[in-house]
Each structure stands twice: as structure tokens, then as C-alpha cells.
């Protein structure tokens, strides 16, 4: 483990590689990994956003993306809704945050109901590999 790096980041990075590889569409059979990724991203986001740290939005966006990819659409929508409320605390960034959350809503609406892979994850939810 690298000094000072959050252990959740150490965990989520290999999960992301397992689920997405070098693409933007999840590999088959990765439901548990997607759910774990969502939980880790949500935890990290909540901590940062609760402290007023806008860097938490990256993880906030990643959480509903993983949930949506796992087919947990209502949970993803719930996070988007909560994100809109949290955005009120980031006055100068609120228009950008609202626009991003709208993109996630649009992405979720485009997801098929029958479990087939849907559209690739939104670009803002594509993490940079460390």
C-alpha cells in the first residue's frame, strides 16, 4: 500500500479494472464488484462532501454509475436526488453539478430494463487510473 492513500482507493482501483478493463462497458459477471465499488465511492464521497471538499463529487458521480451498471436503478436515482440537495452547499459549482447529475439521469433512462448492457458509463464517471 502506498503511504497516505485511502485503503478504499486501493480497493476500488482493482475492482474498476476487473469490471471495466480498459473500456467503459462492464464485463459480464461483475455484479458484486459493481455493488462494492458503489459502496466504496459513496463512503468516500460522503466523507469529503460532509467536510465541504468538492473533490467528493468525483466519487459521488461514480457511485450511481456503478449502481446503474449493476441494475440498481432506483438506488442510483436516490443518490442523484440526494446529490441535488448536497449541491446546494456548493453554490459556485451548483450549475455544473446539476448538469452532471442531469447527464446521469439521462444515462439511467437509456439503460435497458432486461439486464442487457446499456450505454457506456458517462465520461465524468470514468476514473483516471493511478
* pTM, 2 dp: 0.79
> Which tens digit of pLDDT belongs to each residue from 2-47?
456 788 888 998 888 888 877 777 878 889 999 999 999 999 999 9
Residue 116 located in a structural domain: no
- Whether residue 60 lies inside any domain: the answer is yes
Domain that holds residue 61: 7-111
Instruction: Name the burial class of residue 46, with classes exposed (0-12), middle (13-18) and buried (19+) by CB atoms within 10 angstroms of its CB.
Output: middle
Instruction: Label residue 124 by pLDDT band (50, 70, 90).
Output: low
pLDDT digits (tens, 9 = 90+) for 71-92: 999 999 999 999 999 999 999 9
Domains held by the chain: number:
1
Q: State how far the Cα of 36 lies from the Cα of 17, in Å rounded to an integer.
A: 13
How far lies 117's CA from each of 31, 41, 98, 122, in Å? 12, 21, 26, 14
Cell output for 116: 442487457
Give domain status of residue 84, yes or no.
Answer: yes
In a domain, 117, yes or no: no
Q: Is residue 73 part of a domain?
A: yes
Q: Is residue 72 part of a domain?
A: yes
Amino acid at each position: 500500500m502506498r503511504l497516505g492513500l485511502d485503503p478504499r482507493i486501493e480497493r476500488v482501483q482493482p475492482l474498476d479494472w476487473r469490471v471495466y478493463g480498459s473500456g467503459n462497458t462492464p464485463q459480464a459477471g461483475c455484479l458484486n464488484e459493481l455493488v462494492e465499488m458503489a459502496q466504496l465511492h459513496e463512503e468516500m464521497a460522503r466523507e469529503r462532501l460532509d467536510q465541504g471538499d468538492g473533490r467528493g463529487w468525483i466519487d459521488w458521480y461514480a457511485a450511481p454509475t456503478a449502481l446503474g451498471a449493476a441494475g440498481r436503478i432506483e438506488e442510483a436515482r436516490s443518490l442523484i436526488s440526494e446529490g441535488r440537495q448536497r449541491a446546494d452547499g456548493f453554490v459556485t459549482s451548483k450549475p455544473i453539478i446539476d448538469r452532471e447529475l442531469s447527464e446521469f439521469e439521462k444515462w439511467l433512462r437509456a439503460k435497458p430494463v432486461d439486464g442487457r448492457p446499456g450505454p457506456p458509463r458517462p465520461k465524468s464517471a470514468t476514473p483516471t487510473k493511478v
